[in-house]
Amino acid sequence: MQKPSGANFILKGDICYSKTHETLNVCSDGYIICIDGKSEGVYSSLPDTWLKRSELPVIDYSSCLIIPGLVDLHTHAPQFAFRGLGMDLELLEWLKTYAFVEEAKYADTQYARLAYSALIENLLNGPNTRVVMFATVHTPATSLLMDMLESSGLVSLVGKVNMDRNCPDTLREKSASHSLAATEEWLSKCAYQNVRPILTPRFIPTCSDELMKGLAGLQKKYNLPVQSHLSENKSEIEWVAKLRRGSSGYGAAYLEDDLFGGSVPTLMAHCVWSDEKETALMAERQVYAVHCPQSNTNLSSGIAPVRRFLQAGIPVGLGSDVAGGAHSSIFRAMADAIQVSKLRKPLLNVDEKPLTLEEAFYLATVSGGAFFGKAGMGASGSFDNGYEFDALVIDDKNITPPFEITIRDRLERVVYLSDDRNIKAKYVRGRSLT
């Protein structure tokens, strides 16, 4: 099979991608054209214009499923090393017992290199082509992670974490001014093609008012996106209410700090307990709600009201939230999102429709990929003309039943049954990573 020599080529196979959040575009034995790392479109047969382009190799993946690369909008890079541990604890106790202990180790860049190598190998073998990461408070280790991601070819947003209160001494930055100076020093060194910085106040409990205001200043100065956590756990929400007594809510506190949507591309992970007022504010400010269903289950946080978010017009994406989530694959997040949505009615007496496969796939591709466009890196997640060309080629023969099924049903089985071994090829911005 001929491999593409550059970012100009044609893939042939059974193509499936989102048309809307409710419907799929499918093209059996069709063609996708990649020019300069972007999709030129999908065709059932090649137009003469392209047939005459002898310099465009046709890579034949007939009988394989070709879908857009998946997008993970929320994960903690330093937590990959202890996935699957502490899953009997709730959020705040888990942070003290496992997360903070592990993250302190990244003061040692030799340890960071070892741990991040395992993470990146896992990502390269898996279905995610884009990822948004929390690093740690350590500038050298964060820069190292970005260097390694740049070399991998994956597209990513990476944040040096800010924390100047309510955390272990091993992670607490000396002061707000020290945290801001370290952040600006880190930003001055960020010069990459595939990786961009994202401001990362861990969450309001660990960031003083002075630090939050200072980060808002850096956001304006460098025109950066922002990521943090919102309304994940009831104890966390109560904690925020005590720390920010003058605020009308958790999301409102971020807004007071100028770090909550509007002209600031913003990701807020979890949003499990966002009430009607917070939901309305997120919709107004177009703040992304990042749904992390496995983590929310493992850490006993609850079930996010994704259907309500979608109805309100809030942009929604999916996150693995490693290591609250034990699996990095967004295929797993898609399946978990569908499954937990079915439990809202029997457990919470909420009369709402569960998520469909089509909706979960849309969140994992088009919706998640759109945030990268907002962050100035080029949108992905679709094969429509103009999208950056991120694609997975899935050889699903070993999970195909002994009867005829549609491409849509093959996609569903891939979501629930596939693993890394089914990925035959992986492309990011038109570059083959396999």
Per-residue pLDDT of the chain (434 residues; tens, 9 = 90+): 445 546 899 999 999 999 999 999 999 999 999 999 999 999 999 988 887 777 789 999 999 999 999 999 999 999 999 999 999 999 999 999 999 999 999 999 999 999 999 999 999 999 999 999 999 999 999 999 999 999 999 999 999 999 999 999 999 999 999 999 999 999 999 999 999 999 999 999 999 999 999 999 999 999 999 999 999 999 999 999 999 999 999 999 999 999 999 999 999 999 999 999 999 999 999 999 999 999 999 999 999 999 999 999 999 999 999 999 999 999 999 999 999 999 999 999 999 999 999 999 999 999 999 999 999 999 999 999 999 999 999 999 999 999 999 999 999 999 999 999 999 999 999 999 98
HSE, side-chain direction, 13 A CA sphere, residue 348: 15
In angstroms, the CA 86 to CA 283 distance is 34
pLDDT at residue 121, rounded to an integer: 98
* CATH number for the domain harbouring residue 354: 3.20.20.140
Residue 84 lies in a domain: yes
State the sign of the Cα–Cα–Cα–Cα dihedral 328, 332, 333, 339.
negative
Please choose, from the candidates 70, 13, 12, the residue with its C-alpha nearest in 3D space to the C-alpha of residue 333: 70
Cα dist from 78 to 135, 137, 216, 249, 261, whole Å: 6, 11, 25, 30, 26
pLDDT at residue 55, rounded to an integer: 77
Question: Running DSSP on this structure, what letter comes out for residue 364?
Answer: I
Residue 4 lies in a domain: no
Same domain, 74 and 52: no
* CATH number for the domain harbouring residue 400: 2.30.40.10
In angstroms, the CA 433 to CA 233 distance is 38
Last residue of a domain, one of 345, 374, 403: 374
b/e for 390-415, b at 16 or more Cβ within 10 A? bbbbbbbeeeeeeeeeebeebbbebb
Structural domain that includes position 195 = 70-374
In angstroms, the CA 95 to CA 111 distance is 20
Same domain, 304 and 254: yes
Same domain, 252 and 356: yes
Report the amino acid identity of residue 85.
L
Same domain, 249 and 120: yes
Residue 285 lies in a domain: yes
Same domain, 52 and 104: no
Same domain, 16 and 131: no
Same domain, 191 and 154: yes
User: Got the DSSP string for 399-434?
Assistant: G--SS---HHHHHHHHHHH--GGGEEEEEETTEE--
In angstroms, the CA 58 to CA 215 distance is 48
Residue 108 lies in a domain: yes
pLDDT at residue 1, rounded to an integer: 46
Last residue of a domain, one of 334, 351, 374: 374
HSE, side-chain direction, 13 A CA sphere, residue 159: 27
Same domain, 53 and 114: no
In angstroms, the CA 369 to CA 381 distance is 5
Residue 251 lies in a domain: yes
Same domain, 412 and 299: no
Same domain, 50 and 162: no
Same domain, 189 and 172: yes
Would you mind telling me the total number of residues written for the chain in this entry? 434
Residue 2 lies in a domain: no
Domain count, the chain: 2
At what angle are helices 176-188 and 139-152 packed, to 10 degrees? 30
pLDDT at residue 240, rounded to an integer: 98
At what angle are helices 139-152 and 109-125 packed, to 10 degrees? 30
Residue 301 lies in a domain: yes
Whether this model's pTM surpasses 0.85: yes
Same domain, 61 and 79: no
Between vectors from CA 248 to CA 244 and to CA 254, what angle results, nearest 5°? 65
Last residue of a domain, one of 325, 345, 374: 374
Residue 50 lies in a domain: yes
pLDDT at residue 6, rounded to an integer: 61
- The dihedral over CA atoms of 305, 306, 312, 317, expressed in degrees to the nearest 10, equals 140
